[in-house]
Chains A and B, each alone.
Chain A
Amino acid sequence: MKEIRYIRAISEALGEEMARDENVFVIGEDVGGPGGAFSGTKDLLERFGEKRVKDTPISESAIVGLAIGAASQGLRPVAEIMFMDFLTVCMDQIVNQMAKMRYMFGGVYKLPVVIRAPCGGGLNAGPQHSQCLESWFAHVPGLKVVMPATPYDVKGLLKTSIRDDNPILFIENKALYALKGEIPEEEYLIPIGKADVKREGRDVTVVATSRMVHQSLEAAEILSNEGIDVEVIDLRTINPLDKETIFESVEKTSKLVIAHEAVKAFGIGAEIAAMVCEEMIDCLDAPVLRVGAPFVPVPFNLEKFYLPNSEDVMKAVKKVMEY
């Protein structure tokens, strides 16, 4: 095992997959010479050359469109969109083009496109550089949405995503880029669509995504001192959703809290809560609670009031315990 930062785990995954398959190329703003706005593509230009490391103009629709066209002809592009918020300026290419092309053309195309984009607050980057918009994309048939929380998961899932034949939105978290974690020296892959039980527990299930996985683990640690045994599930992939792991856990605990950084309203939490209510309401001993951000834009100056944290998770867990 070795210790590595989340962002370096990303560069390692990219480097390994580019070395493995010459059809893999990276494309995006500043991905070449500068090595990426957050250094995710560091050293790739030197290693793989200009043919496969493409610096682009600030033209998100052209970046994604090019990736789609190239993928339709057998290449495997990994496009970087510098902030998840900027996906809104290439929404047509993602939603109407990339997600539809295989289905509407009767299955003649495979589109192995990965779009990497960082989400999340915590950097005081303001309302246009901090959003978590995963539920928008999870709502679109034809896309897969991956959202890893640790260096181990980000590396294994990025490698799998690059090898997958479907369009994938790979949501990183810029507040986690500096996070250190252990990964094996040797190659490994992590399947898409498989959640990970990050902490086993008997009393309450907390299903979390991205940064909230860490907040939930912190909450679970504190609550264990109070005699509450929390199970923390890291979703890792938003779509396809790992129902099985969630259901197994809820069967055991009969209590469910969902924690994400995106605004609570209309989020992934609502989907999971509805799914559990639809299919296993008899198992529940308490209402399903959601932890998420308030329904306001991400404020530049008031982030500390905005971002959901471990205290919010603790409050929700205690509430379902007391029900």
Chain B
Amino acid sequence: MVKKEKLLEMFYLMMKIRRVEECLLDIFAQGKIPGFIHVSIGQEAVAAGVCSQLETNDYIFTTHRGHGQAIAKGIDLKRFMAEIYGRKDGYCKGKSGSMHIACKEMGIVGSNGIVGGGIPISVGTAFASVFKGEKRVTVCFFGDGAVNEGTFHESLNLASLWNLPVVFCCENNGWAQFTPQKVYMNLENISKRAESYGMVGVTVDGDDVLKVYEQAEKAVLRARKGQGPTLLECKTHRWFGHFAGDAQKYRPPKEIQEAREFDPIAKFRKFLMESKYITPEYSDTIEAKIKSEINEAVAFAENSPIEGIEELFNDVYVS
């Protein structure tokens, strides 16, 4: 049985991810954020369920759609927001933006703008854990689009061969950018591929945070005990387009509507209410707390300066 505190923490994380990303969509539309952003609204249960199984010094790798996982891993919202704004007080001095955010102190090794690009690197941090005799687990998040990249194959084979402490978490939202799964893959459950690498593969309802949490626990424990990697596929739904501003003309309106019927937060809230873990007032309190955190983060970001030209030349090399 999952402890009440853990349940409430996951609820808070999911709410926070959603509200932060709604805010990002809003400020992006106002032209305050340069570049692109990709939101994970509708997929919050995966980030919250998996990251709730991790210790601070465990590693995660995220993708272009990685805000949720970074928040669930415990990134400080103010510095996170400043990074997305491209400001000096961001985690990466504003050089990474939304798509490449990293936070070393929370084990967020880095998000990756190349589909499948982070998977081999995650095998490297898992290797380092074993090499140094540490118990740190690596979780590598990627989307369903990444599993047809060669890096997926190379990395899963090697991780299994060397029994490395890594969980490959495929956040399957059914869309590889503008293309649905049935168009690019003759396989329904991606986890089935695990068998060919000699590792455990599991498919879970990624819109059910409790199920994600339960399977993530097994996968993380397996890694931590030195019993090898897992391919954990979490089937979820992408509510919005590939990027903020994507009109989704390639997607039937009915399909978008249906995707939104799978609301992991509504589902979890219902469970928490029915099980008497929370009251409607509690939910309102959480909303208010998150709203104030977001306001504070946005103000922090907007007040943070942009680096000057001298920063252009920093950090290309270690001097």
Question: What residues make up the interface of A, taking CB atoms closer than 8 Å to B?
Answer: 25, 51, 56-57, 59-62, 64-75, 92-93, 96-97, 101-110, 141-142, 144, 164-166
Contact = CB atoms under 8 A, between A and B. Distances in A.
Given A69-B126, A70-B131, A75-B128, 17 more contacts: A59-B157, A61-B150, A62-B154, A65-B123, A65-B124, A65-B154, A69-B128, A73-B128, A102-B315, A104-B96, A105-B100, A106-B90, A106-B91, A109-B104, A141-B316, A144-B317, A164-B318
A92 B121 CA distance: 12
Contacts of A144: 317
Contact of B125 (A61, A72, A96, A106): A72
B297 interface: no
Interface stretch (B38-46, B109-117, B232-240, B251-259): B109-117
B275 interface: no
B316 A142 contact: yes
B154 A70 contact: no
Contacts of A105: 91-92, 95-96, 100, 102, 104, 110
17 contacts: A56-B158, A59-B154, A60-B154, A61-B151, A61-B154, A66-B158, A72-B109, A73-B129, A92-B114, A93-B120, A96-B113, A97-B114, A97-B118, A103-B315, A105-B92, A110-B318, A164-B318
A190 to B, nearest CB: 18
B92 A106 contact: yes
A79 B154 CA distance: 16
A71 B109 CA distance: 12
B93 to A, nearest CB: 4
Contact of A73 (B120, B125, B158, B161): B125
User: Which of B94, B120, B127, B161 has the most chain A CB within a 10 Å cutoff?
Assistant: B120
Interface string B148-175: 0011001101100100000000000000
A247 to B, nearest CB: 22
Given A70-B131, A75-B128, A108 B120 contact: no
A56 B164 CA distance: 14
Interface of B: 90-96, 100, 102, 104, 109-110, 112-114, 117-129, 131-132, 150-151, 154-155, 157-158, 161, 314-318
Given A69-B128, A73-B128, A93-B117, A102 B123 contact: no
A51 B162 CA distance: 11
Nearest to A240: B317
A107 B120 contact: no
A74 B150 contact: no
A62 to B, nearest CB: 4
Contacts of A61: 120, 150-151, 154-155
A25 B104 CA distance: 23
Contacts of A60: 154
Contact of A106 (B96, B113, B121, B127): B96
Contacts of B314: 107
A106 B154 contact: no
A96 B109 CA distance: 15
Contact of A66 (B93, B112, B127): B127
B107 to A, nearest CB: 11
B193 to A, nearest CB: 16
Nearest to B61: A69
A102 B318 contact: yes
Nearest to A52: B131
Contacts of B119: 65
A72 B124 contact: yes
A60 B96 CA distance: 26
A165 B155 CA distance: 25
Contact of B131 (A51, A97, A109): A51
B124 A70 contact: yes
A177 to B, nearest CB: 28
A104 B100 CA distance: 7
B121 A68 contact: yes
Query: A51, A67, A69, A165: which has the most chain B beta carbons within 10 Å?
Result: A69
B125 A107 contact: no
Contacts of B128: 69-70, 72-75
Nearest to B159: A62
Contacts of B126: 69
Given A65-B121, A68-B121, A96-B117, A108 B104 contact: yes
Given A62-B151, A97-B114, A102-B315, A68 B92 contact: no
Contacts of B100: 104-105
Given A62-B151, A102-B318, A108 B92 contact: yes
B123 A66 contact: yes
Contacts of A104: 92, 95-96, 100, 110
A66 B95 contact: no
Nearest to B103: A108
Contacts of B96: 104-106
A115 to B, nearest CB: 13
Contacts of A164: 318
Given A51-B131, A72-B109, A106-B95, A62 B318 contact: no
Nearest to A110: B318
B316 A72 contact: no
Contact of A68 (B94, B95, B124, B316): B124
A96 B114 contact: yes
A103 B95 contact: yes
Contacts of A64: 120
B160 to A, nearest CB: 11
